[in-house]
Amino acid sequence: MDLNRERADWPFIREGAVTLFWRKDLFSKAKTDVRTLGYEVLEVVCDSPDQVIKRISDGLNWSEQFGYEPWTGNLNALDEGLAGAPFPESSCFALCFEGYHQLVDHDRSFAIGLLDVVETQSRNHLVDGRRLIALVQTDDGSFETEKLGGNAARWNWQEWLNAARTLR
């Protein structure tokens, strides 16, 4: 694994696997940056819980991995799915969630649990030299999570200050 701290993905893995974005332009740039590094990117628009579940199920090739489809939204099954998810040749995979506030509004427990699973499996994959990250765009500039895998999700460095998200 390349330990170069100048890599564009370093800020996304330095303090945890889940990075939050409020501004869509920064979110788009982050997706472009990880694609440039060879990450396989699964884009998930969070317009409804059912659509999120379908997009993740399709993106992880649930049927090929487990012989049944679709993923039903069970977070224990997702934990197993991400543990064995096929990685591209680059060994890097990014789940990119847009409009996450909508999923949180529908079912906060599920939304936080989803990020918790990504955080936990990310650490497990790092042991084998693979990178799993989540880039999460939300229109809620005050969004915070409980600890994910023992860590809280952090705002990207450009929006870390509340003032950058028009909060005082």
CB 118 within 8 A of CB 100: no
Structural domain contains residue 6: no
**CATH code of 122's domain:** 3.30.370.10
Segment among 94-98, 102-106, 107-111, 145-149 with least mean pLDDT? 145-149
Q: How many domains does the chain have?
A: 1
Would you say residue 2 lies in a domain? Answer: no
Domain-located, residue 21? yes
Residues whose CB is less than 8 angstroms from the CB of residue 37 and which lie 6 or more positions away in sequence, other chains included:
7, 8, 9, 90, 92
Do the domain assignments include residue 140? yes
Identify the weakest region by mean pLDDT among 31-35, 105-109, 159-163.
Answer: 159-163
3-state secondary structure of 18: strand
The predicted pLDDT at position 128 comes to 86
Domain hosting 60: range is 12-165
Asked if residue 40 is part of any domain, the answer here is: yes
Region of poorest pLDDT, from 3-7, 73-77, 155-159: 3-7
User: Per the domain annotation, does 1 fall within a domain?
Assistant: no
- Edge-first strand listing for the sheet containing 40-45: 40-45, 92-98, 131-137, 18-21, 154-155
Residues with Cβ within 8 Å of 129's Cβ and at least 6 positions away in sequence, in order, are: 1, 91
Tell me the whole-structure pTM to 2 decimals: 0.85
Per the CB < 8 A criterion, the answer to whether 46 and 100 are in contact is yes
Q: What is the pLDDT, as a whole number, of residue 32?
A: 96
